[in-house]
Structure 1
Amino acid sequence: MKLHIVPARTGLEWVRLGLRVFWRQPMALSALFFTTMAAMSLVTVLPLVGPAVALALLPSATLAMMVAAAQASQGRMPTPALLLVAFRTGRQRLRAMLALGAFYAAGFLLVMGVSALVDGGQFAQVYLGGQPLTRELAESGDFQVAMWLSLLLYVPLSLLFWHAPGLVHWHNVPPVKALFFSIVACLRNLGAFTVYGLAWVGVFLGAGIATSLVVSLLALAGLGAGAAGGVMVATALMLAAMFFTSVVFTFRDCFEAPEAPQSESPAA
């Protein structure tokens, strides 16, 4: 396995490829993303351990979208069976993916725990869905400090896990090494990832403006709040699916292709 250093402009190419490949299979990729999120939401209802288990499933969900995007880029239609792709590649990789999930859940809960030292856990309760967000709470100084602190701490956690699922799945790298190689690849290609992030911010802002115009037109047409809400939810779902579709291209360009790729190989 060899790390590649790419120019900053590659970040734009990652976004372009994510958008292009998504529109090859928009229904399949949106449905897969929705199914993964729904499954994680259902897991959260488990007593006591539900939220932690849902967090632990996120690396596997990310891998499912990466494999789906790789298949779509090769002209194949992703299927719901990819939800279990992390658990169908042998015991060694299964244990590695489970370890990644446990590490991610522990890291995320640690971030929430640190933020709780600032505001008594209010931000953590809102983020994890246990407390409604009120205007008074959102305007609280302690709440805002906890929110920004959580965001700051989440960035290195995200970089640790950005490539880790792909490294485990396609390169059979042990979990701890996968985390190390992931953050090194992100930092060595910081320029490309900065452009990538800024480009996605632009896509989200542009889509938000377009959605607002559509919602305004629906309101003028008297179609009601239901139609407007449906448009907003559908747009948010598609944007999230597009973003996760692009992740596999960041992985493909940062690491040399495995010598003996599996059937669900990274996008060529």
Structure 2
Amino acid sequence: MKLQLVPARTGLQWVKLGVKTFFRQPLAMSGLFFMFMATVSIISLVPVLGTAISLMLVPAATLGLMAASQEASHGRFPMPSLLISGFRSGPSKTRSMLILGAMYAAGLMLVLGVSALFSADVPPPPEVPGGEVSPDMVRNLFSSQGLWVAMVLYVPLLMAFWHAPALVHWHGVSPLKSLFFSLLACWSNKGAMLVYFFGWVGVFMLVGLFMSLLTTLLGGTQALNLILYPLVLFMASMFHTSIFFTVRDSFMPDGGTLPNDPTPGENA
């Protein structure tokens, strides 16, 4: 495995590849993302340990979506079994993926715990009849120190876990080392990563502008709500489809190409 340095413009290419690959298999990719979110949401309802267990599954599910993106990029239909790719490559890699998940859950809980210390003295915003969002609620949210502390602390956590699931699964790196190499890769290719994230910000802003214009044309929000949730699902799925390409271009495997995950009927 070798770290590859890419120019900043590659970030925009990652966005384009994510969009292009998503539209090769839009129903499959959005369906897999929905399965991931539904599973995590259901598990989080379990008392006491539900939230921790659901967070532990995030790295493995992210790896599954990467594997699905790899399949779609090759013109193949991504099967639902790819979502559990991280648990289908033997006991050793399964254990490593669970350890990585536990580290992610612990890290995120720590971030939330520290940020809560800065939000403890913030008074709740006044309630608005009908459950609508008031300007005071938005103002209170963005003036909260806890929010900014959480954002600052989450960035290095996100960088450490961005490539980690793929490094553990495809490159056989230990969980702890995968965090280091992921952080190193994100920092070394920070230009491309910044262009990548701002590219997606631009995409989401354009979609938001389109939705605003559509609301004006329809003259109400009832019809808009019919397409809002599917659109949000599609956009989130599209973003997660693009993550695979950030990994593929940041690390060169020893064999030159990433191995394909086994499909149903093949030996894991």
State whether TM-score is above 0.5. yes
Q: Is the 8 A contact 1:116 1:122 kept in 2?
A: no
The 8 Å contact of residues 248 and 258 in structure 2, kept in 1 or not, is answered as no
Instruction: Give the Å deviation of 1:212.
Output: 2.1
The residue type equivalent to 2:103 in the other structure is: F
Equivalents in 2 of 1:172, 1:166: separation in Å? 9
Q: Give the aligned CA root-mean-square deviation in angstroms.
A: 2.2
Match of 1:14 in 2: 14
Please state how far the C-alpha of 1:261 moved relative to its aligned partner. 4.7
Name the counterpart of 2:38: 38
Matching residue's letter, 2:231: T
- Does 2:266 align with 1:262? no
Residues 198 and 261 of structure 1: is their aligned pair in 2 closer, same or farther, counting only changes over 3 Å?
A: closer
Counterpart in 1 of 2:112?
112
Partner of residue 74, structure 1? 74
Which amino acid in the other structure matches residue 247 of structure 2? F
Quickly say closer, same or farther: Cα 1:183–1:133, change in 2 above 3 A: farther
The Cα of 1:78 is off from its aligned counterpart by: 0.7
Amino acid in structure 2 at the alignment position of 1:250: T
Residue in 2 that maps onto 1:64: 64
2:198 is aligned to 198
Report what 2:218 is aligned to: 218
Q: Secondary structure at the match of 1:23?
A: helix
How far off its partner does 1:72 sit? 0.2
Q: 1:97 to 1:121 in 2, by over 3 A?
A: farther
C-alpha contact 1:96 1:175 (8 A) present in aligned 2: yes
TM-score, normalising length from structure 2? Answer: 0.88
1:243 partnered with 2:213:
no
Question: Aligned pair in 2 of structure 1 residues 156, 205: CA closer, same or farther (>3 Å)?
Answer: same
List 4+ stretches of structure 1 deviating above 6 A. none
Distance 1:34 1:203 in 2: 21
* Alpha-carbon shift at residue 57 of structure 1 (Å): 1.0
The answer for the alignment partner of 2:126 in structure 1 is: none
Match for residue 266 of structure 2?
A: none
Deviations 1:188-212 (A, max 9, x none): 0000001111111000100111122
3-state SS, counterpart of residue 11 of structure 2:
helix
Match of 1:126 in 2: none
Aligned mates of 1:219, 1:41 — CA distance in 2: 34
Shift of residue 255, structure 1, vs aligned partner: 0.2
Displacement after TM superposition at 1:173 (Å) = 0.7
Aligned counterparts of 1:134 and 1:51: Cα–Cα separation in 2: 27
- For residues 188 and 65 of structure 1, the distance between their equivalents in structure 2, rounded to whole angstroms, comes to 24
Q: Secondary structure at the match of 2:2?
A: coil
Task: Quote the Cα distance in structure 2 between the aligned partners of 1:261 and 1:242.
Answer: 21
1:179 is aligned to 2:175: no
Determine helix, strand or coil for the equivalent of 1:101.
helix
**Does the 8 A contact of 2:141 with 2:147 survive in 1?**
no
What is the count of residue pairs matched by the alignment? 253
Name the CA distance, whole Å, in 2 between partners of 1:37 and 1:219: 32
The match for 2:128 is none
Which whole-Å CA distance do the structure 2 matches of 1:246 and 1:262 have between them? 18
Gaps of 5+ in 2: 124-130, 263-268
Q: Deviation at 1:141?
A: 7.4
SS at match of 1:89: coil
The one-letter amino acid of 1:247's match is: I
CA distance in 1, matches of 2:178, 2:199: 26
How far has the Cα of 1:187 moved from its partner? 0.2
* TM-score for the superposition, normalised by structure 1: 0.88
